[in-house]
């Protein structure tokens, strides 16, 4: 029996906690800082995941044996290395890569060099800094539109620009490098070849030696119906993904996942955790768009419900490097999630709106993203508020339940995309 701490406060952490709470090995489950949803499956602790000393205090006080790190922030800041070197934390298992491993997400230039070194298919690229800005401007001239510019560091999902016009791309490159448009994150900029295709998210759990491929998902990134408007953290997700056929997944495994795990080992990068591989399908071939050192949000809200095996057992396998002995069984059903957001998101939005009717969603699993308790009420506390997941025997069947529940829950300024999964339904009709 184990005491487990999940770090984070979003829908991803609610879904992970919801799944861990079902484990037969769990004694006590804590979430820091959590939200109103996680409070229903465990105990929330008011601790900032990026304040490592505060995390240590709560691990020691609550006799935690395993920590699951939800977001990338603490990983990129080195929480795993902090645990390994602190004498009070010896023997505490932690799920996530070392700080160097987290650079797969924390530095696009690092990730590109890693992929090049290990022959992992990805868009061609070159990197520039303020010293080489004019070389970058000249390099753009040799590329074809659209131009893809990426801030090297973490930029809250906003650091990727896709620009049609050469002059604008050159101006943006100067502004990223010389005016620090994305702060320190854009002190290096990666310029990439544009790849045209359809995207999906593939998740791998690794103990550094072996790995399990978790259910894949498709995310809906833009705010508007028909994939229009501003980029968001994600407005919905579907799993499984119809175009991820066994043949395509085999290519992903042999050309991307195996070389990634072998590459980490060859480079002596310690990695015990989740790898999120953003894939783009060009023709019939997979290319890596990005790596993340954590699970996706809202993808986790469809991945966790599809895992039938005991998650804590798998995570113990990661810590003890016996993952190869663990079973991973996956539910055949479709799972969909629809994210309800606050009015104004992804730009500025209001918080503190009372959420009513949560109990009405009896055919769905309501994961909380940005909520908190306020006395006896539950109120909105973020741009993304709820991720409403449902099972079905088809995408239509699952999404109908997610939409109906999203409709029945009320708060002022609620908005959700009513077309989650529709593109995949159309794609299936054509086959």
Task: List phi, psi (to 5°) of 375.
Answer: 65, -130
User: Buried b vs exposed e over 314-327: b needs ≥16 C-beta within 10 Å?
Assistant: bbbbbbeeebeebe
Q: Which of 72, 105, 192, 207 binds ligand AMP (CB under 6 A)?
A: 192
Q: How far apart are CA 155 and CA 161, in angstroms?
A: 12
Q: Which does 194 bind (CB under 5 to 8 A by kind): ligand GLY, ligand AMP, none?
A: ligand AMP
Minimum Å gap between C-beta 193 and ligand AMP is 6
Give the residue from 159, 128, 157, 158 showing the smallest Cα distance to 143.
128
Given the complex with ligand AMP, which of 194 and 393 has the nearer CB atom?
Answer: 194
289 binds ligand AMP (CB under 6 A): yes
Binding mask 295-324 for ligand GLY (x = CB under 6 A): -xx-x-------------------------
143 binds ligand AMP (CB under 6 A): no
Q: Which of 78, 242, 263, 278 binds ligand AMP (CB under 6 A)?
A: 278
Minimum Å gap between C-beta 296 and ligand GLY is 4
Beta bridge partners of residue 191, listed in sequence order:
126, 149
215 binds ligand GLY (CB under 6 A): no
292 binds ligand GLY (CB under 6 A): yes
Minimum Å gap between C-beta 299 and ligand GLY is 6
103 binds ligand GLY (CB under 6 A): no
Residue of closest CB approach to ligand AMP: 290
216 binds ligand GLY (CB under 6 A): no
Q: How far apart are CA 192 and CA 257, in angstroms?
A: 22
Q: How far apart are CA 162 and CA 152, in angstroms?
A: 15
Q: How far apart are CA 397 and CA 403, in angstroms?
A: 10
Given the complex with ligand AMP, which of 94 and 104 has the nearer CB atom?
Answer: 104
279 in the Ramachandran plot: left (φ > 0), alpha (ψ -120 to 50) or beta?
beta
Q: Which does 181 bind (CB under 5 to 8 A by kind): ligand AMP, ligand GLY, none?
A: none
Q: How far apart are CA 160 and CA 125, in angstroms?
A: 14
CA pseudo-torsion sign 360, 361, 366, 369: negative
159 binds ligand GLY (CB under 6 A): no
54 binds ligand AMP (CB under 6 A): no
Give the residue from 90, 282, 283 showing the smallest Cα distance to 195.
282
423 binds ligand AMP (CB under 6 A): no
290 binds ligand AMP (CB under 6 A): yes
Q: Are strands 93-97 and 271-282 parallel, antiparallel or unpaired?
A: antiparallel
Q: Which does 148 bind (CB under 5 to 8 A by kind): ligand AMP, ligand GLY, none?
A: ligand AMP
Q: How far apart are CA 357 and CA 191, in angstroms?
A: 47
Minimum Å gap between C-beta 421 and ligand AMP is 18
Binders of ligand GLY in range 229-248 (CB under 6 A): 234
Report the Cα 305 to chain-centroid distance in Å.
16
41 binds ligand AMP (CB under 6 A): no
195 binds ligand AMP (CB under 6 A): yes
| Binding piece for ligand GLY, criterion CB under 6 A, among 76-84, 118-126, 241-249, 292-300 | 292-300
219 binds ligand GLY (CB under 6 A): yes
Q: Which of 199, 253, 331, 423 binds ligand AMP (CB under 6 A)?
A: 199
Task: List phi, psi (to 5°) of 140.
Answer: -60, -35
Q: Which does 330 bind (CB under 5 to 8 A by kind): ligand GLY, ligand AMP, none?
A: none
Got the DSSP string for 158-207?
--EEEES-HHHHHHHHHHHHHS-TTGGGGSEEEEE----SEEEEEEEEE-
Q: Which does 427 bind (CB under 5 to 8 A by kind): ligand GLY, ligand AMP, none?
A: none
Q: ∠ CA(186), CA(297), CA(310), 5° rounding? A: 135
DSSP state of 145: S
Residues that bind ligand AMP (CB under 6 A): 123, 148, 150, 160, 192, 194-195, 199, 278, 289-290
Residues that bind ligand GLY (CB under 6 A): 219, 234, 292, 296-297, 299
């Amino acid at each position: 029996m184990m005491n487990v701490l999940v770090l984070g406060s979003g829908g991803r952490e609610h879904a992970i906690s919801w799944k861990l709470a079902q484990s037969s090995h769990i004694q006590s489950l804590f979430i820091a800082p959590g939200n109103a949803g996680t409070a229903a499956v465990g105990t929330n602790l008011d601790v900032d995941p990026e304040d490592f000393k505060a995390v240590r205090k709560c691990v020691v006080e609550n006799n935690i044996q395993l920590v699951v790190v939800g977001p990338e922030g603490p990983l990129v800041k080195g929480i795993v290395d902090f645990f390994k070197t602190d004498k009070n934390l010896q023997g505490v298992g932690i799920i996530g890569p070392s700080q160097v491993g987290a650079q797969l997400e924390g530095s696009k230039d690092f990730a590109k060099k890693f992929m090049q070194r290990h022959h992992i298919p990805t868009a061609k690229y070159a990197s520039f800094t303020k010293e080489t800005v004019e070389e970058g401007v000249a390099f753009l001239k040799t590329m074809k539109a659209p131009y893809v510019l990426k801030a090297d560091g973490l930029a809250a999902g906003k650091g990727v620009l896709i620009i049609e016009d050469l002059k604008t791309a050159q101006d943006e490159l100067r502004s990223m490098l010389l005016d620090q448009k994305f702060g320190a994150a854009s002190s290096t900029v990666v310029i990439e070849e544009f790849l045209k295709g359809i995207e999906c998210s593939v998740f791998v759990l690794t103990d550094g030696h072996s790995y399990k491929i978790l259910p894949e998902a498709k995310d809906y990134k833009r705010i508007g119906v028909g994939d229009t408007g501003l980029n968001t953290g994600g407005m919905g997700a579907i799993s499984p993904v119809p175009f991820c056929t066994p043949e395509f997944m085999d290519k992903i495994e042999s050309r991307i996942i195996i070389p990634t795990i072998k590459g980490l080992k060859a480079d002596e990068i310690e990695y015990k955790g989740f790898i999120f591989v953003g894939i783009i399908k060009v023709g019939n071939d997979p290319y890596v768009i990005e790596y993340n050192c954590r699970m996706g949000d809202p993808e986790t809200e469809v991945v966790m419900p599809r895992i039938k095996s005991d998650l804590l057992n798998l995570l113990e396998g990661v810590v003890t490097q016996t993952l190869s002995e663990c079973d991973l069984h996956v539910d055949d059903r479709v799972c969909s999630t629809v994210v309800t957001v606050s009015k104004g998101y992804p730009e500025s939005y209001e918080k503190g709106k009372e959420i009513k009717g949560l109990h009405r969603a009896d055919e769905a699993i309501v994961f909380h993203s940005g909520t908190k308790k306020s006395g006896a009420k539950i109120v909105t506390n973020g741009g993304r508020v709820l991720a409403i997941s449902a099972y079905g025997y088809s995408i239509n069947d699952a999404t109908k339940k997610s939409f109906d529940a999203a409709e029945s829950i009320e708060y002022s300024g609620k908005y959700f995309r009513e077309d989650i999964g529709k593109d995949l339904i159309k794609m299936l009709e054509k086959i």
